[in-house]
Amino acid sequence: MERFGYYLKKVENQVITKDNSCLKCTTFVPIILYMLTKQQNKLYKYLKDKIKKTNISPSFEEMKIAMGLKSKSGIQRLIDGLVERGFIEKKNNKKRAINIIEGSIPKKNSQLINLPLLGNIAAGSPIEAIENTNDNIEVPKNLVSENKKNYVLKVNGNSMLNKGIVDGDKAIIEYCNDADNGDIVVALINDNEVTLKKLKKEKDKIHLVPENDNYKVQSFNSDEVKIQGKLKGIIRSY
């Protein structure tokens, strides 16, 4: 059974203003995490019901009995998985301190929307232009803008690692043909290659900036790059 959760990845941007001054700002990239295992889903339901009834998280011993497991290490692995996927949070160095992250899971299918999965996007060196496919993927409605065209691309490479975007992620893209400095965009280069990079515009130049020290900034004349959309969120499968 697929279940969705998401958290906001905090990232720091440098924005170049019209007077060429540099400002630092914080933005948040939604990271969607989905696909709980059967055991993770069982523990999540138990935790949610138990905390709702008692207003306190159960002990490891109680969780071990409820899950029918023999060791606490098995419970710890399940908890770590729920924390990583954004379903619960655990306060460090405190016992019985598990909190449910409310609102992380759509309750009804009406809160999901089908978006076309169009192909691959390079978060590394540019790859050939996107090829259309007939595949679709469900995403939470609140991560897309109404009355705007949205689509999904699969990420290849790790050039945007410092923004929380890794190889194999699926990028939710809002179609647009222009974007602001600091936006993460789908850039079509010379009508035959696409890449996912942070945008920096400077006079008649466009710089496509990676977020990984192992990759170099790519610079082009403004007429060589077309903006095909900007990032709205990331889907990560487990």
- Which of the following is catalytic: 57, 154, 159, 230? 159
The predicted structure's pLDDT at residue 132: 57
More confident residue, 85 or 212: 212
Percent of the chain with pLDDT over 90: 30
Tokens of 116: 């076309």
Annotation says 108 is catalytic: no
Give every CB contact of residue 194 below 8 A, 6+ residues apart in sequence: 121, 122, 126, 127, 128, 129, 130, 186, 187, 188, 228
Answer yes or no: is pLDDT of 50 > 50.
Answer: yes
Give the pLDDT confidence score for residue 128 in this predicted structure. 55
**Is 148 among the catalytic positions?**
no
> 154, 163, 197, 198: which is the annotated catalytic residue?
197
Q: Which domains does the chain have, with CATH numbers?
A: 38-100 (1.10.10.10), 110-237 (2.10.109.10)
Residue 141: pLDDT band by 50, 70, 90 thresholds?
A: confident
Res. 197: pLDDT tops 80? yes
Which has more pLDDT, 126 or 200? 200
**Residues 77-119: pLDDT tens digits?**
898 888 877 788 877 666 677 888 765 544 444 467 888 888 8
Q: Which amino acid is at 185?
A: V
**How confident is the prediction for the chain on average, in pLDDT?**
78
pLDDT tens by residue, 51-64: 889 888 899 999 99
